[in-house]
């Protein structure tokens, strides 16, 4: 669909959340997508679903994810391209965990241009490494509904059980202490250059993520509202 033909409404572009593991980008991305009624696209969730279902993609990705390494472009890009071509993405969508490299960002930018989307709006979650370690090693995820807890900062009422649906709370392999440090190192080496890439494009907006969820949500909401007002 050409740019001049794209309906006006919703976000009308991709909103990208950048930040290291544990920065809260997943929580904020889901909330923003809910507010605007657009899809929340997490390649991490997609990959974990493939792993759970034992698909060919999942079988390739599983050992890589368990080592805390980034899944290579060859296993991610086609999945992303197919997803954003679906009708529910027509009015925009929110990315969480993609792109992770400058090469992926350039590929995504070209895909978006071909489909008539405006330049992505990028939110950069800034947070100290010491805080990330506590957030990551304490994180637990509901097996049923995907609700996220933290045994240090936001524990469930009953240990190991989701407050919402009674589902089992899982400690993901890539959140264990022996994996966290390599994950953060991988982020710094391969993903942090995205900050400079998008900053040069004038698309990047820094957000202090070392605050309450509500404070961070409020600032993000203000940034996105301002972006939509200057479309």
Checking DSSP bridges between strand 148-150 and strand 139-142, what pairing results, if any?
A: antiparallel
157 is catalytic: no
Report the run of H or E that residue 108 belongs to, with start and end. Answer: helix 102-114
Radius of gyration of the CA atoms of the chain, in A: 17
Distance CA 131, CA 212 (A): 13
Query: 13, 25, 30, 48: which is the annotated catalytic residue?
Result: 25
pLDDT at 181 over 80: yes
pLDDT at 41 over 70: yes
3-state secondary structure of 23: coil
Mean pLDDT of 130-145: 89
What confidence tier does 43 reach under pLDDT thresholds 50, 70, 90? confident
CATH number for 43: 3.40.50.300
Report the run of H or E that residue 125 belongs to, with start and end. Answer: strand 121-126
Q: Is residue 169 part of a domain?
A: no
What confidence tier does 125 reach under pLDDT thresholds 50, 70, 90? very high
pLDDT at 136 over 60: yes
Distance CA 120, CA 227 (A): 11
Q: Is residue 85 part of a domain?
A: yes
Query: 6, 10, 60, 172: which is the annotated catalytic residue?
Result: 172
Contact 17, 96 (CB under 8 A): yes
Domain extent at residue 25 = 14-128+177-223
Query: 62, 139, 140, 217: which is the annotated catalytic residue?
Result: 139
Number of separate domains in the chain: 1
Q: Is residue 189 part of a domain?
A: yes
Torsion of CA 131, 104, 224, 140, to 10 degrees: -40
Q: Is residue 199 part of a domain?
A: yes
Q: According to the model, what pLDDT value does residue 126 have? A: 93
Mean pLDDT of 213-231: 87
Distance CA 34, CA 134 (A): 27
Distance CA 30, CA 42 (A): 9
pLDDT at 4 over 80: no
Q: Is residue 149 part of a domain?
A: no
139 is catalytic: yes
100 is catalytic: yes
pLDDT at 207 over 90: yes
Q: What percent of the chain has pLDDT over 70?
A: 94
Q: Locate 156 and state its tokens.
A: 């469930």
217 is catalytic: no
What confidence tier does 229 reach under pLDDT thresholds 50, 70, 90? low
What confidence tier does 185 reach under pLDDT thresholds 50, 70, 90? confident
pLDDT in tens, 46-104: 788 788 888 888 898 889 888 888 788 888 887 788 788 889 999 899 998 889 889 99
Query: 30, 100, 135, 217: which is the annotated catalytic residue?
Result: 100
Q: Is residue 209 part of a domain?
A: yes
Report the run of H or E that residue 8 belongs to, with start and end. Answer: none
Mean pLDDT of 163-187: 88
Q: Is residue 1 part of a domain?
A: no
Query: 48, 135, 183, 217: which is the annotated catalytic residue?
Result: 183
Report the run of H or E that residue 72 belongs to, with start and end. Answer: none
Q: Is residue 81 part of a domain?
A: yes
């Amino acid at each position: 669909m050409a740019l001049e033909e794209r309906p006006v409404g919703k976000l009308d572009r991709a909103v990208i959340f950048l930040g290291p593991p544990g920065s809260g980008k997943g929580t904020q991305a889901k909330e923003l997508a809910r507010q605007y009624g657009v899809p929340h696209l997490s390649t991490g969730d997609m990959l974990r679903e493939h792993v759970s279902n034992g698909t060919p993609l999942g079988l390739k990705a599983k050992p890589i994810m368990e080592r805390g390494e980034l899944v290579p472009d060859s296993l991610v890009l086609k999945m992303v391209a197919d997803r954003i071509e679906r009708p529910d993405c027509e009015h925009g969508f929110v990315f969480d965990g993609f792109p992770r490299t400058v090469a992926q960002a350039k590929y995504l930018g070209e895909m978006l241009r071909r489909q008539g989307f405006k330049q992505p709006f990028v939110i950069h979650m800034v947070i100290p490494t010491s805080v990330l370690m506590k957030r990551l090693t304490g994180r637990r995820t509901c097996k049923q509904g995907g609700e996220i807890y933290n045994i240090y900062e936001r524990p469930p009422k009953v240990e190991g059980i989701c407050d919402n649906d009674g589902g089992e709370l899982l400690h993901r392999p890539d959140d264990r202490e022996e994996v966290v440090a390599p994950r953060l190192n991988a982020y710094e080496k391969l993903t942090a250059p995205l900050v400079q890439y998008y900053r040069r494009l004038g698309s990047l907006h820094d957000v202090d993520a070392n605050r309450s969820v509500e404070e961070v949500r409020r600032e993000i909401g203000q940034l996105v509202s301002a972006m939509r007002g200057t479309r």
